[in-house]
Structure 1
Amino acid sequence: MIQGGLVGCPERIGAVNLFDVPSEAHTAAVDAAITSRRSMRAFLPTPVPRETVEAILRVASRAPSGTNIQPWQVHVLTGAAKERLCDRILAIYEDPDELARHEREYEYYPKEWVSPYLDRRRKVGWDLYGLLGIAKTDKAGMHAQHGRNFRFFDAPVGLIFSIDRRMQMGSWLDYGMFLQNLMVAARARGLHTCPQAAFIQFHRVIAEELAFQPGQMLVCGMALGYADPASVENSLETERAPVAEFTRFLED
């Protein structure tokens, strides 16, 4: 947990006066849950109890959404259900001819990369591969590392998120806030996550395997569990631009 867990944790939020000025300890605990969130790429096999997952999702559902439409749908995978999906996707991923038949339903990244976004993307990629000892010419090593996405990096819980495809950009903004809430609530319980856009290439397989309701569209996946502290890839800490670089204060 983050220093013994969040002060005024969400399970007790009903007993908290929401108009009180938060204590320094409360502020520090919330900040710690946010700033300690990182994408982990190696997990321990330690199970996560269902009630813990439910508690995290209950907290995450307090995310704001336009006119309270709450556009998120969550599919929680553990055990054999998770293994079946992973096996199906990996079988495709390792077959170049079959892989070529699977296209992303939507583009997560821009079609044209420009600075500073391209610079940041390259840096995080080479920082990760450097930790793993994967050289720039090692295409097989990169392929294998990317393929670990489709085992949810061995996390005991895999999450798949979907949305009604009739929803518009506003609902996708709402969804992002829900996902962030989920990741922060996980940190408050000593858990880690890795949000995964890699799954979107396999949206047809996932919709079939998980029996999506008609009209549901894949958003992304996410690994959830206890991070392996001995895995070198989990030591990666990405940089953030200073506030002055992305903020304008207009006062006059």
Structure 2
Amino acid sequence: MHVDDAIRSRKSVRRFLPDPVSRDTLAHIVEVAGRAPSGSNIQPWQVHVVAGEALHRLSAAILAAFDSGEEHQPEYTYYPTQWFEPYRERRQRCGYGLYETLGIRREDKARRHEQMRRNFHFFDAPVAMIVTIDRRLETGSYMDAGMLIQSLMTSARGQGLHTCAQAALAWYHRIIREQLGLADSELVLCAIAVGHEDPEAPENHFITERKPVGSIARFHGD
């Protein structure tokens, strides 16, 4: 797959088939993604590839915490405390578009809650990648990790797979740490669900829009 096709066809898949992904394929994805750049080549990341019974245990532990109503917080701030334009409108269009595709009305709190809960099933994916960085590093390492995450998803597309990056899992870092035996220095950034797309699922037909080049780039000079 040409890199342009891999990037253009990447999307957030929210329902996967149960078909397994081989360890060789997963190792290849991580190897290729490991070519992502980082400042002074420090490579501040770790990728924890979770499948099989280990994934079932992790999912069950997080779901139990979610269902209990326990208070959990991530170790970093992802979103602003106060939204403003144009980001408020873009975020709303994304959320409303997904729920509309699924036939979930705004006032249907039960179904909205259930859809949120599917995050912690990893949308039925057979594999989850938990991405961490060393907490002793600084903001630049978050930029480095972002390039790794994009590379993981692009590499997966090159293998005919799909993904969904899940920042929601960062809220449950204590459970992830316990289940996977993470080092104290590791800060959980996100999960990435990996597998084969269920082409019949309506949520997988929801494609978020992108702004045109003229809206996101300014060209200076000839």
Find the aligned partners of 1:175 and 1:104 in 2 and give their Cα distance. 16
Give the match's secondary structure for 1:158: strand
Residue identity over aligned pairs, in percent, reads 51
- The answer as to 2:156 corresponding to 1:156 is no
Q: Indicate the residue corresponding to 2:59 in structure 1.
A: 86
Shift of 1:153: 0.3
Find the aligned partners of 1:124 and 1:200 in 2 and give their Cα distance. 20
Residues 101-142 of structure 1: per-residue CA shift (max 9 Å, x gap): x12221111111111111011001011001111100011111
Q: Indicate the residue corresponding to 1:15 in structure 2.
A: none
Shift of 1:189: 1.0
Give the match's secondary structure for 1:110: coil
Q: Indicate the residue corresponding to 1:35 in structure 2.
A: 8
Residues 160-207 of structure 1: per-residue CA shift (max 9 Å, x gap): 111110111111101111111111111111100000000111111111
Q: Indicate the residue corresponding to 1:13 in structure 2.
A: none
Aligned length: 222
Q: 2:179 aligns with which of 209, 224, 246?
A: 209
Find the aligned partners of 1:30 and 1:77 in 2 and give their Cα distance. 26
Find the aligned partners of 1:217 and 1:203 in 2 and give their Cα distance. 8
Give the match's secondary structure for 1:162: strand
Where structure 2 has 5 or more consecutive residues not aligned to the other structure, the ranges are none
Q: Indicate the residue corresponding to 2:150 in structure 1.
A: 180
Shift of 1:95: 1.4
Equivalent residue letter for 1:158: A
Detail structure 1 runs of 4+ shifted over 4 Å in the superposition.
Answer: none
Equivalent residue letter for 2:56: E
Find the aligned partners of 1:200 and 1:214 in 2 and give their Cα distance. 15
Q: 1:113 aligns with which of 83, 87, 96?
A: 83
Shift of 1:92: 1.1
Shift of 1:231: 0.2
Equivalent residue letter for 1:118: R
- The answer as to 2:217 corresponding to 1:244 is no
Q: Indicate the residue corresponding to 1:62 in structure 2.
A: 35
Q: Indicate the residue corresponding to 2:109 in structure 1.
A: 139
Find the aligned partners of 1:130 and 1:68 in 2 and give their Cα distance. 43
